[in-house]
Structure formats: C-alpha cells, structure tokens
C-alpha cells in the first residue's frame, strides 16, 4: 500500500552508513565511531548488576528517580555551575538523543525555523524535520567553525523559534569561548528565540573549564541544557541523558516522556547513579588519552599542509581533506576505505556545509590511530594534490 509519511523527509545518517560499510573491509581500521573505545568503568557495571540482583527492575517516575535527579543536579552544579531543581526542572532521558527529541517536541510547531550552526551533528536535523519544522543551517566555515553574532543576527527571521548550540561541537571538536557565548546571548536577548545547549561532550574539553550559555544573563529562562553519560562515562549503550529546563517547559517535557517511553531503564538509572556519585574522575583517563590522540592528529595534518581547525574537545577532527585533494567528501571517504583501509565519515554527512571535509574520530587506541594515520599519509602522498 502506498503511504505518505514525514519519515520520508529524513534519511539514515551518513555516519551509520559508513560505519556499517567498514564490515565489508576486514582489514580496515575505523575512525568513524562516535563513542569512547574504553568500556564503562567497572564500578558502574557492578552497580547495575547489584540493581538486577536486588530486583530494582520496575518503572520509575517519568522524570527518572529522584535520587538520580538529585545526584545529577549536584554533579553538574559542581562541574559547570548550573543550578536546577531536581523536582521540577530536570528529567532523566533515554540518552541525550531523547532529551533533544522531547525538547523539540515540546517547543516546535510545523513551519518553525531552527537555526543550526554547520557543519553539525545530523541528529538535530532528523528531529526538526520529523516535526515538520525547518532547519536553517548557518555556514561557519569562514569563521573558524564557530557561529558568529553577525551570522546569528542575519539568520533570525520572524519564524525563528530555536537555535541549537553545542560545545564542544560534533563533528569539528571546536569549543565556544565564553566571550562568544556572551556575544550570541546578547543577540538573542532581544528576541523570543529558544536555545538548546547540547553539552554532552563537556567533560571531554582539553583546555579551560566547561561553561554553559544558560549561565549568562537572561538566558536561563530560554535555554534547555542537554547532558548525558554516553561520552563522559563511556555509557553509550545504557541510554541515559538529562534535560535541564525552566519548570514550565520541564513540566510539558515530562508529559512527552510519559507518552513516549514512560521512563529510562531502571537498571541504567542505578548505573548512572553510581557514575554520578562515585565517578567524578571517570572521564579523566579518556580526556588525557584523547588529548594525546588529538595532538598526534593535528601534527600529521599540519605536516601534510591540510587545513584543520584545532579541536579543543570531544574526540573528532574535521580536516579539509577532500578539498585538499580536489575531490568530493563522499568519493574521498570511499577511496580511503577501499584503497587505504581507513574508514572516516564524509563531511557532507554533517550538512551541505561539511562538503570538502571528512570527520575522523580519534576515540581509539593510540596504536590503532598511529597505523590509521600512517595509511592516510601514504594515501595522500599517492593521491597527490588538485
Ligand atoms: N549530541 C551530540 C553532539 C552527539 O554527538 C551525540 C552522539 O553522538 C548525541 C547528542 C547523542 O547522545 P546519546 O548517545 O546520549 O543519545
């Protein structure tokens, strides 16, 4: 039977497509995946086993257990300085993805415009389109891959409902300095535009301490802050995220949770409780390792004279490799895989403004990274320049 669906407006993301293609190349090394290569810390896994042993396996409140919300409120207050009431301003979600989803379901109407600095994480576009709203990508390539206040001002129209900011950014690893957030906040102060602040990578920031646009004057009441344990505690499969929002918005979001998933997994919530209560240092070994990996990647692309904005967080690098070789992102990614045995994600998976680039994830063992970079270097030497 023929049918029409909003789902036809979206595609499976290019990240998934390429990470799945790797399995067809048995000797290929994959730099595609957006998750830490280390397992979830043992104390967290043990806490989950204990929850199962104790039969803590029932529904929890829609917002998540109060114990977990309280632990998250304390954890992120210490880490960033954000201050939210666990009873009325916080939700435990099924990963950060679910937090993004319920925030947008709560705030967006069909026809609304959503400003997204690009290149950008493709998960945002999918949700916006499913809701019948429109993505307005703002090209940041000439501005060091960061949204400027002028570009934001120019992109705002009477239909703009929201801007989605992330820091550190997937796929580029760039971090918004506080002064830039301040300048963006000043532009937004005169508008009725909401902000989603995706801070999922904040514990994997290599310099400076994490901050949040929600802390700037006038911003708290118009911002939804997104966090989660997928990256900081190597917990991608546990599916635990958090949404911090003003009480009136949070109450609406709680209804969306009720009719969507009821609650996040009770066992995962117990694991998350251990992560937040006893795992304040869990991210440190990863951060140190990925900073080292970042330095190795930056040095290689500098030596090859291929433009790369230095990533200051997350575990991605976004070199203009395809541009340098005079080819398209998609074609270069295919060639790298087939000819050099290295899988990367083509830049156009991150909006049309990612064309000319590829994304490398260096969330991997340093030996794997070294060998993958050796292969990329040989490929570039062989492929020559445009
Ligand atoms: N936000 C960004 C910027 C991401 O890169 C990702 C995952 O890659 C997510 C959100 C989703 O995180 P989660 O796995 O917790 O749903």
User: What DSSP letter does each residue of 72-88 carry, written as one string?
Assistant: HHHHHHHHH-----TTT
CB 341 within 8 A of CB 29: yes
Which numbered atom of ligand 1 lies nearest the CA of 121? 3
Which residue in 199, 141, 151, 139 sits closest to 175, CA to CA?
A: 199
Total length of the chain: 386
pLDDT in tens, 352-386: 999 999 999 999 999 999 999 999 999 999 886 55
Q: Assign residue 289 a region (left: φ > 0; alpha: ψ between -120 and 50; beta: otherwise).
A: alpha
User: What mean pLDDT is reported for the chain?
Assistant: 96
pLDDT of residue 385: 58
Mean pLDDT, residues 42-60: 98
Mean pLDDT, residues 135-151: 97
Mean pLDDT, residues 304-312: 98
Residue 351 is classified by DSSP as B
- 241 CB near ligand 1 (under 6 Å): yes
Give, to the nearest 10 degrees, the angle between helix 95-107 and helix 122-130: 40
CB 223 within 8 A of CB 195: yes
Q: Hey, where are the domains in the chain? A: 5-40+283-383, 56-278
- 64 CB near ligand 1 (under 6 Å): no
ipTM, interface predicted TM-score of the complex: 0.99
- 172 CB near ligand 1 (under 6 Å): no
> How many helices (DSSP H) and strands (DSSP E) are in the chain?
13, 12
SS3 237: helix
Q: How far is the CA of 189 from the centre of ligand 1 (A)?
A: 27
Gap between the Cα atoms of 22 and 35, Å rounded: 16
pLDDT above 70 for 155: yes
Which residue in 67, 115, 57, 111 sits closest to 87, CA to CA?
A: 67
Q: How confident is the model at residue 19 (pLDDT cuts 50, 70, 90)?
A: confident
For the sheet containing 345-346, what is the strand order?
Answer: 316-317, 358-361, 345-346
- 363 CB near ligand 1 (under 6 Å): no
Fold of the domain spanning 56-278: 3.40.640
* pTM value > 0.95: yes
CB 345 within 8 A of CB 13: no
pLDDT of residue 23: 87
pLDDT above 80 for 131: yes
Mutation pick for ligand 1 pocket among 231, 264, 318 (CB with most ligand atoms within 8 Å)? 231
- 212 CB near ligand 1 (under 6 Å): no
pLDDT in tens, 118-128: 999 999 999 99
What tokens does 348 get? Answer: 């156009």
Strand pairing partners for 116?
A: 137
Please check whether the domain covering 5-40+283-383 is classified as CATH 3.40.50.150: no
Q: How far is the CA of 93 from the centre of ligand 1 (A)?
A: 12
Q: How far is the CA of 200 from the centre of ligand 1 (A)?
A: 7
Q: How confident is the model at residue 139 (pLDDT cuts 50, 70, 90)?
A: very high
- 228 CB near ligand 1 (under 6 Å): yes
The residue with tokens 């300085």 is 81
């Amino acid at each position: 039977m023929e049918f029409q669906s909003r789902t036809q407006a979206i595609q499976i993301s290019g990240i998934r497509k390429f990470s799945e293609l790797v399995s067809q190349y048995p000797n290929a090394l994959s730099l595609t995946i957006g998750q830490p290569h280390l397992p979830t810390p043992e104390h967290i896994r043990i806490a989950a086993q204990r929850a199962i042993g104790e039969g803590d396996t029932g529904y929890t409140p829609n917002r998540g257990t109060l114990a977990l919300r309280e632990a998250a409120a304390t954890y992120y207050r210490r880490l960033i300085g954000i201050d939210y009431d666990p009873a009325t301003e916080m939700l435990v979600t099924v990963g950060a993805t679910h937090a993004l989803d319920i925030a947008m379901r709560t705030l967006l109407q069909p026809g609304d415009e959503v400003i997204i600095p690009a290149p950008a994480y493709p998960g945002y576009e999918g949700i916006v389109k499913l809701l019948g709203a429109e993505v307005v990508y703002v090209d940041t390539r000439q501005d060091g891959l960061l949204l400027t206040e002028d570009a934001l001002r120019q992109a705002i129209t009477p239909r703009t409902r929201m801007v989605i900011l992330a820091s550190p950014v997937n796929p580029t690893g760039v971090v918004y300095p506080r002064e830039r957030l301040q300048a963006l906040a000043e532009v937004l102060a005169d508008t009725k535009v909401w902000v989603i602040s995706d801070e999922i990578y904040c514990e994997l920031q290599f310099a400076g301490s994490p901050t949040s646009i929600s802390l700037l004057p006038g911003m708290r009441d118009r911002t939804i802050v997104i966090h989660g344990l997928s990256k900081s505690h190597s917990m991608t499969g546990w599916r635990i995220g958090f949404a911090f929002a003003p009480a009136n918005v949070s109450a609406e979001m709680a209804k969306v949770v009720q009719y969507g998933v009821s609650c996040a997994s009770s066992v995962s919530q117990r694991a998350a409780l251990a992560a937040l209560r006893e795992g304040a240092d869990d991210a440190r070994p990863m951060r140190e390792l990925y900073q080292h990996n970042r330095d190795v990647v930056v040095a290689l692309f500098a030596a090859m004279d291929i433009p790369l904005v230095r990533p200051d967080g997350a575990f991605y690098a976004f070199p203009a490799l395809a541009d340098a070789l005079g080819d398209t992102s998609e074609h270069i990614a295919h060639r790298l895989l087939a000819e050099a045995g290295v899988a990367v994600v083509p830049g156009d998976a991150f909006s049309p403004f990612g064309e000319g680039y590829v994304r490398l994830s260096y969330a991997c063992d340093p030996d794997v990274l070294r060998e993958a970079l050796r292969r990329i270097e040989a490929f570039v030497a062989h492929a020559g320049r445009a």
